[in-house]
Amino acid sequence: MTAFLGPAIVTGTDTGVGKTIVTAAVAAAATSSGLRVAVVKPCQTGVASGDEPDADVVARLAAPASSVTLASYPDPLAPLTAARVAKLPAIDLGVVVDVVAGLVEQHDLVLVEGAGGVLVQLGAGGWTIADLAISLGAQAILVARPDLGTLNHTELTRRVLVAGGVEPLLVLGSWPASPDLVHRTNLRDLPALSGVLPTGAGSLPAEVFRTSARSWLSAELHGDWRADSLMALAL
């Protein structure tokens, strides 16, 4: 498979699995390869908490050519629910498609980070990141945990994407420095991996993050990581 270009969605098996840091890693790796990268967050929730928004995290760690959030809501809820609770307009799928299409004309790679899992309702009419991937004809990056329970969550998410004609690349969002038995067995039972980020990667200084990103990702994701050494741990 050749390296991702054009639009690509980043989704996950759940919330908190590392989508934002994986998005930043792919953006950093592609940028270091000389590509113009745009990052789009269609919906950001929980902005009232004062936490750094996802698009800002990516911009700080990866320094892509551009980074944009299209809609923001105060409460840490699924985006469509957060819009309803805040009595704010939910974003239309067509708006997101148009924005991404415009960015594709000016960039080599456009990464679109979803919220939560693949079937979380992001905007008006209940559209999901899976719907967006199909509408854009986008490639997909699926971020998963390495822990107990990931086999079922990963396969369910993968099947949703494949049913829509989207075959995702799988990246583990956090790999422990001292893997337990479950981590080592999951290496063999999960689909083939296209990248593994170490636990705590998002806490690295930006300069270190950018120079390290390629070592965490496969060639399809603009890196030089190979699964051989990690798979030596598999049971």
**Where are the domains positioned within the chain?**
6-231
For the chain, give the longest Cα–Cα distance: 52
The two structure tokens encoding residue 130: 């899976």
Q: Judge whether 138 and 66 are in contact, CB under 8 Å.
A: no
Mean pLDDT by 10 residues, the chain (235 residues): 92 96 98 98 94 96 98 97 98 98 98 96 98 97 97 98 96 97 97 97 98 98 94 91
Which positions are annotated as active-site residues? 41
What is the structure's pLDDT at 186? 97
From the CB of residue 225, how many other CB atoms can be counted at a distance below 10 Å?
A: 22
Q: Please compute, for residue 228, the number of CA atoms within 13 A of its CA located in the half-sphere on the CB side.
A: 2
Q: Cα dist. 147→51, 52, 144, 232 in Å? A: 26, 26, 9, 18
Q: 112-121 burial, b if ≥16 CB within 10 A, otherwise e?
A: bbbbbbbbbb
- Indicate the CATH number for domain 6-231: 3.40.50.300
Q: 166-200 burial, b if ≥16 CB within 10 A, otherwise e?
A: bebbbbbbbbeeebeeebeebbeebeebbbbbeee
Sign of CA dihedral 54, 178, 147, 169: positive
Identity of residue 202: G
DSSP category for residue 51:
P
Cα separation, 61 vs 204, whole angstroms = 9
The crossing angle, in degrees rounded to 10, of helices 19-32 and 54-62 is: 30
Helix %, strand %, coil % of the chain (to 5): 45, 25, 35
Q: Judge whether 75 and 82 are in contact, CB under 8 Å.
A: yes
From the CB of residue 223, how many other CB atoms can be counted at a distance below 10 Å?
A: 24
Q: Judge whether 45 and 75 are in contact, CB under 8 Å.
A: yes
pTM of the model: 0.97
Burial of 46: CB neighbours in 10 Å, binned 0-12, 13-18, 19+: middle
